[in-house]
Homo-oligomer: A and B are copies of this chain.
Amino acid sequence: MAEEIAEKAGRDDDAFVLRKDRVREILLAINRGDSAGLGRMLDQLHPADVADLMEQVGDKTRHLLLRFWGRDIDGEILSELDEGVRAEVIEMLPDEVLSEAVLDLESDDIVDLIEDLGDEQKDILLDALSASERVAVEQALSYPEGSAGRLMQREVVRTPEHWTVGEAIDFVREDAEDLPEQFYHVILVDPKMHPTGYVTLGKLMSMPRAKPLREVSEHSFRSVPVDLDEAEVAYIFNQYHLISLPVVDSEERLVGVITIDDAMAVLDDEHEEDILLLAGVNEESSLSDNAIETTKLRLPWLGVNLLTAILASMVISLFEDVIGQVVALAVLMPIVASMGGNAGTQSLTVAVRAIATKDLTGSNVWRVVSREMVVGVLNGIVFAAVMGLVALFWFGSSQIGLVIAAAMIVNLAVAALAGILVPVTMEKLGVDPALASGTFVTTVTDVVGFFAFLGLASMVLM
Contact = CB atoms under 8 A, between A and B. Distances in A.
A173 B334 contact: no
A205 interface: yes
A20 B183 CA distance: 35
Interface string A57-78: 1100000000000000000000
Interface in A328-374: 328-335, 337-339, 342-343, 345-346, 348-350, 352-354, 357-364, 367-368, 371-372, 374
Contacts of A49: 239
Copies in the complex: 2
B359 A55 contact: yes
A440 interface: no
Interface in A226-255: 232, 235-243
A364 B446 contact: no
A359 B287 contact: yes
Given A169-B205, A375-B291, A353 B264 contact: no
Interface stretch (A32-40, A95-103, A125-133, A299-307): A299-307
23 contacts: A18-B361, A20-B363, A49-B239, A52-B359, A57-B364, A169-B205, A182-B200, A263-B264, A267-B268, A268-B357, A271-B271, A275-B278, A275-B349, A275-B352, A275-B353, A280-B346, A287-B350, A290-B371, A291-B378, A294-B372, A302-B342, A306-B387, A312-B335
Looking at chain A's contact residues, is the secondary structure mostly helix, strand, loop, or mixed? helix
A260 interface: yes
Interface of A: 13-14, 16-18, 20, 23, 46, 48-49, 52, 55-58, 169, 172-173, 175-176, 179, 182-184, 200-202, 204-207, 220, 222-225, 232, 235-243, 260-261, 263-265, 267-268, 271-272, 274-276, 278-281, 285, 287, 290-292, 294-295, 298-299, 301-303, 305-306, 308-310, 312-313, 316-317, 320, 323-324, 327-335, 337-339, 342-343, 345-346, 348-350, 352-354, 357-364, 367-368, 371-372, 374-375, 378-379, 382-383, 386-387, 390, 446, 450
